[in-house]
Amino acid sequence: MSSPQRTIIVGAGHGGSQCAISLRSEGYEGQIVLVDEDEASLPYHKPPLSKKYLLSEDQKEMPLRPASAYEKASVERLQDTAINIDTATKTLTLSKTGEMTYTSLVLATGASNRVIPALTNIDNVHSIRTLQDTTSLRELALSANSVTILGGGFIGLEVAACFAGMGKKVRVLEASKRVLSRVVAPEVSDIVQRKLHELGITLELGAMAVEFNESANRLDSIQLDNGSIVDIELLVVGIGAIPNESLALSAGIHCDDGIVVDQSLKTSAADVFSLGDCCRFPHWQTQTTVRLESVQNAVDQSKQIAQQIATGVASDYKAVPWFWSDIGPLKLQIAGIYAGESQTVLRREDDKFALYHLQDQHVVCVETINNAKEHMLARKLIAAGVSITEDDILAGPERLKSVLEA
Ligand SMILES: Cc1cc2nc3c(=O)[nH]c(=O)nc-3n(C[C@H](O)[C@H](O)[C@H](O)COP(=O)(O)OP(=O)(O)OC[C@H]3O[C@@H](n4cnc5c(N)ncnc54)[C@H](O)[C@@H]3O)c2cc1C
């Protein structure tokens, strides 16, 4: 008789909780244990934390699914911290529950905000990762006149637009010469920058913070490398995230800016998988390994892992990546991966924008603004891998649809 199956999932964020539910819907009959150290009662949506939730007066929880969904799928939820993995005996140690053996282990530990050591535990310095972070930040912001954001990435700009909408005086400090420089093309940065100006936000580009002046546990000002001093009432730091890989690393699992997995999302340890923000995987589009921080990636990878554990059949992960961000009135969507080197074709219609990136006449990435229909079409074009020309793109979505259907 074979021993009973038990899958333990560490991390009940977007990926981990989806993995638990998908395991059961894929027909897995073993025990499913979903562990998370977060105090929140149910796994919840993260994207609204820097968007509408920050603006909302009524800060209700935003569960990904009701408690009954976990009960129905017989998912055992534990509020606990995973502190050790013994990959030889397949044993996970939790700080409160103690040791638990597994037949499969899924590491879905997510990422943590990058911190500036000089700014830890300072009263008027905040960042957003959890529901609690947003609740505290909103509380402080209500009584502030001005807010400074360090970092012009997605989260920083979303927060900046929210605070401008609340009537605050907002300033963004960004070290690069343009916002979102690592993730979007210059044309998109340009549109976003113009919108931020329209919203009354002060944008300081090429502004490297070199000194933080603090007194009585409060940040008074930041000195920039050009010598200017920015006075601070409330600072939000949004300078990227680092993968939560220490649990894997101390177990001897191969990590390299993320828990390294193969095409079928297996780590270097037997029966241990990883997904989402914490994992680095070989990407079918770029032919390199990447780490993607997006809901789509976490959810699609979790479904793939669940299917493999339930059926015992390995398969390669090959989803089209996509992402969205709401910066004030701009809905920015990206399908595929922006890798810099490509032929670009731009199409604009009224306030709708689409920037296609082509390599060898194949679409590899499309960045759209306020253009959800074309974003959906872009995902299909990338997945199908059809050959298209600049003329096809300039002729508009109907022509692209016909290329897809031909
Ligand atoms: C403010 C904000 C806005 C965002 N906006 C967008 C957006 O607009 N669009 C988009 O696509 N993506 C967005 N993202 C990114 C998206 O939320 C993440 O990519 C997604 O949550 C990743 O899912 P995950 O399951 O990998 O990790 P997470 O959802 O982060 O979950 C990881 C969980 O693991 C738990 N954990 C970690 N270590 C342990 C341990 N040792 N023991 C127990 N539990 C542990 C953590 O408590 C956490 O709950 C945003 C993220 C944030 C923070």
Check residue 66 and give its pLDDT: 96
Of 14, 65, 78, 279, best ligand 1 pocket probe by most atoms within 8 Å of the beta carbon:
14
CATH of domain 115-237: 3.50.50.60
pLDDT tens over the chain, length 406 residues: 456 999 999 999 999 999 999 999 999 999 999 999 988 789 999 999 999 899 888 778 899 999 999 999 999 999 999 999 999 999 999 999 999 999 999 999 999 999 999 999 999 999 999 999 999 999 999 999 999 999 999 999 999 999 999 999 999 999 999 999 999 999 999 999 999 999 999 999 999 999 999 999 999 999 999 999 999 999 999 999 999 999 999 999 999 999 999 999 999 999 999 999 999 999 988 889 999 999 999 999 999 999 999 999 999 999 999 999 999 999 999 999 977 677 999 999 888 999 999 998 999 999 999 999 999 999 999 999 999 999 999 999 999 999 999 8
CA distances, 18 to each of 9, 96, 225, 313 (Å)? 10, 24, 45, 19
Q: Of 33, 48, 43, whose CA–CA distance to 12 is shortest?
A: 43
Residue position matching structure tokens 């947003």: 134
Check residue 1 and give its pLDDT: 46
Answer yes or no: is the C-beta of 334 below 6 A from any ligand 1 atom: no
Distance 317 CA to ligand 1 centre (A): 20
CATH of domain 6-38+64-112+241-311: 3.50.50.60
Contact 24, 50 (CB under 8 A): no
DSSP secondary structure code for residue 184 in this structure:
S
Atom of ligand 1 nearest to the CA of 40: 49
The domain at 339-405 falls in which architecture? 2-Layer Sandwich (3.30)
Which residues on adjacent β-strands are paired with residue 388? none
How many other β-carbons are positioned within 10 Å of the β-carbon of residue 177?
10
Report how far residue 358's alpha carbon sits from residue 137's, in angstroms, rounded to the nearest whole number.
41
DSSP secondary structure code for residue 88 in this structure:
T
DSSP secondary structure code for residue 182 in this structure:
T
Report how far residue 328's alpha carbon sits from residue 105's, in angstroms, rounded to the nearest whole number.
40
Contact 62, 14 (CB under 8 A): no
Q: What is the pTM of this model?
A: 0.97
Question: Which residue ranges make up each domain of the chain?
Answer: 6-38+64-112+241-311, 115-237, 339-405
Of 33, 77, 109, 154, best ligand 1 pocket probe by most atoms within 8 Å of the beta carbon:
109
Distance 405 CA to ligand 1 centre (A): 37
Q: Hey, what are 104's tokens?
A: 């499969």
Contact 270, 277 (CB under 8 A): no
339-405 shares the fold of 115-237? no
Answer yes or no: is the C-beta of 247 below 6 A from any ligand 1 atom: yes
Cα dihedral across residues 257, 258, 262, 264: positive or negative: negative
Which residues on adjacent β-strands are paired with residue 84? 93
The bridge status of strand 235-237 relative to strand 146-150 is: parallel
Helix (H, G, I), strand (E, B) or coil at 217: coil
Report how far residue 371's alpha carbon sits from residue 351's, in angstroms, rounded to the nearest whole number.
9
Atom of ligand 1 nearest to the CA of 46: 17
Check residue 340 and give its pLDDT: 66
Which residue lies with its CA nearest to atom 23 of ligand 1? 14
Contact 82, 247 (CB under 8 A): yes
